[in-house]
Chain A
Amino acid sequence: MFKGKISFTAIMTGASELETEFTPFSALIGGGLIGLAAVLLMAGIGRIAGISGIIAKVLPPYSDRFAVPQSLMFIVGLLLSYPAYTWVAGGRPVQVMTDNLVILTVAGVLVGFGAVWGGGCTSGHGICGISRLSARSIVATATFITTGVIAVFVLRHLAGG
C-alpha cells in the first residue's frame, strides 16, 4: 500500500501509523485559539490573520513596507509557539509526514504559489474570510478542499496502492 512506497518519520512514540484519532474537543479548542489570534490582530492592528499574506509581506519583492515589521513579529510568535508548547506540555506534538523530498518540494511550491495567486490560504480564506461571509473566500475554501481531497486520493489510493 501507500506505506510500502513512502516511509514515514514519526516524531514521538505512538505515531507510527498514518491513522489519526478524531479529536473534536482539542480541535475546537485549537480552532478557538486561532480565532482569538485573528481577532487580536484585527482589533489591535487592523490586519487579517492570513498566514500566506503575512509571510508574503516579509519576502521580496516588497509592496507594503509598513507591514514588514509587524508581520515579522507575528512570524516570530508563530516560531516561538512550538518550543513554548513543548516546554509547557512537557512533550513534542505528534508529527507524521512523508520523507519523500520530491513530494514535499512540489507541495511546498504549490502551496506558496497557490496561496498568493489565490489571495489567501486556510487561515485568510478558510477562517477570516468565511467569518466575513466573503463569497471569494467561501469559493476559495471549497476549491482548495476539493483539490486537496483529489491530491490525497491520487497519492494514497492510486499512486500508492
Chain B
Amino acid sequence: MRAFTSLLAGLVFGFGLIIGGMTNPAKVQNFLDVTGSWDPSLIFVMGGGIAVTMPAFAYLKRQRRPLFAEAFSWPVRTDLDPRLLTGSALFGLGWGLGGFCPGPALTALPSGAFGGVVFVLAMLAGICFAKVLVLQRLPKPENIQ
C-alpha cells in the first residue's frame, strides 16, 4: 500500500503541475517577470495547493499515525539558519534562469525536450553534491522536505 500510495500521489502531483501550467518554463519565468510579461498564475497554483493542504494537514496533525506507516514524519526544525537562506537564494536564481523547479523538471522529462534532460541531469548532480556536503556536516540530514 505504501508503494501504491506513493505512485498515486506522484501521478496526481504531476497532473496538478501540468494542468496548472507549471511544466512550461516560460509560464514560471513570466510569474517572476514582474516588470515584463507578468503572469500571476503561479500564485494561484500555490494558493490552490495551500487551500487544500492547510486544513488537511491541520486535521492530520491531530491523528496518531498515517494509514500505512508507523508514524508521521513532520519536519521538526523551526530555526532560521544561514543554510536555509543561502540554499533558497541559490535555488531561486536557478529557478529564474531555467524556469524549472524539481517537480516540473521531472514531470516534463518524458516530453523528450533535450534542454529538459540537460536541466534534470545538472539538477541531480547538484542534489548529490549538496547531499555530500550536508552529510559531512550533519550525521542526519533530517528535515530535507
Contact = CB atoms under 8 A, between A and B. Distances in A.
A57 to B, nearest CB: 8
A143 B33 contact: no
Contacts of A104: 98, 115, 118-119, 122
Contacts of B120: 108
Contact of A151 (B69, B97, B101, B131): B97
Given A39-B60, A112-B125, 13 more contacts: A31-B50, A55-B123, A59-B127, A63-B140, A85-B19, A95-B25, A95-B111, A113-B91, A114-B93, A116-B87, A116-B144, A127-B50, A144-B88
Interface of A: 8-9, 11, 15, 18-24, 26-53, 55-56, 59-61, 63, 69-71, 73-85, 92-99, 101, 103-137, 139-141, 143-153, 155-157
Interface residues of B, number: 123
Contacts of A116: 87, 126-127, 130-131, 134, 144
Contact of B44 (A31, A35, A61, A92): A31
A30 B19 contact: yes
Given A95-B24, A104-B115, A152-B33, A82 B90 contact: no
A27 to B, nearest CB: 4
Contacts of A45: 2, 5-6, 66-69
Interface of B: 1-27, 29-30, 32-37, 39-42, 44-54, 56-57, 60, 65-75, 77-80, 83-103, 105-111, 113-116, 118-135, 140-141, 143-145
Contact of B48 (A34, A113, A145): A34
Nearest to A149: B32
Per CB-CB distance, the 3 closest pairs between chain A and chain B, nearest first, are A77-B10, A30-B20, A118-B87
A52 to B, nearest CB: 5
Contacts of A148: 32, 92-93, 95-96
Contact of B95 (A19, A34, A109, A111): A111
27 contacts: A15-B26, A19-B37, A27-B45, A31-B45, A34-B12, A34-B16, A35-B50, A37-B13, A41-B6, A42-B66, A59-B124, A80-B14, A81-B107, A82-B109, A83-B110, A85-B18, A97-B26, A97-B115, A98-B25, A104-B98, A119-B144, A121-B145, A122-B95, A135-B80, A144-B91, A145-B32, A155-B97
